Amino acid sequence: MDIQWQTWAAVGIVVITAIIFVIRISKSKKTGGCGHDCGCGKKK
């Protein structure tokens, strides 16, 4: 019983991690400068 509970907990953590990754990748930053760290605040 204990081992099964551990399996569910571990799988839950893995699934949550995978969801967070998918959300982060799909919400990639649209702002944040020209990519040159010059502080201009706009895409060139």
Partner 1 sequence: MSSVPEAPAMIALVGNPNSGKTTLFNALTGSNQRVGNYSGVTVSVKSGETFTPHGKKVRVLDLPGCYSLRADSPDEQVAIDALTGMLPGEPKPDLVVCVVDSSNLERHLQLALQVLEQGLPCVLALNMVDVAEKSGLRLDPIKLSEELGIPVIPMQANAGKGIIELKQTLRFPLPFHPSAPWAHGPEDPGVARRSFIEQLCALAARRPDAHQQTISDRIDRVLLHPFFGWVFFLVVLFAVFWSIFSFASIPMGWIENAQGMLGEWLISKIPEGDLQSLLVDGILGGVGGVLVFLPQIVLLFLFIGILESSGYMARAAYLMDGVMAKAGLSGKAFLPLFSSYACAIPGVMATRTIHSPKERLVTIFVAPWMSCSARLPVYFLIIPLLLHESEGTWKQAAILFAIYALGTLTAFVTARILRGRLGEDAKPSHFLLELPPYRNLQWGYIFRHVFDRAWAFVSQAGTIILGLSILLWALSTYPKTSEGDAADKLAHSAMGRIGAVIEPVVQPLGFDGKMGTAILTSFAAREVFNSSIAILFRVEETDDEVQTRTALRDRLAEAKWPDGRPLFTPLSMISLLVFYIYALQCLPTTAVVAREANSWKWAGGQFVFMTGFAYLASLAVFQIGKLLGY
Instruction: Decide: is 23 part of the binding site for partner 1 (CB under 8 A).
Output: no
Cβ atoms of 39 and 30 closer than 8 Å:
no
What is the closest distance, in whole angstroms, from the C-beta atom of residue 36 to partner 1 in the complex?
A: 4
What is the closest distance, in whole angstroms, from the C-beta atom of residue 10 to partner 1 in the complex?
A: 4
Cα separation, 21 vs 11, in Å, equals: 15
Instruction: Decide: is 41 part of the binding site for partner 1 (CB under 8 A).
Output: yes
Instruction: Decide: is 22 part of the binding site for partner 1 (CB under 8 A).
Output: no
- Torsion angle in degrees (nearest 10) through CA of 24, 22, 20, 25: -10
Instruction: Decide: is 27 part of the binding site for partner 1 (CB under 8 A).
Output: no
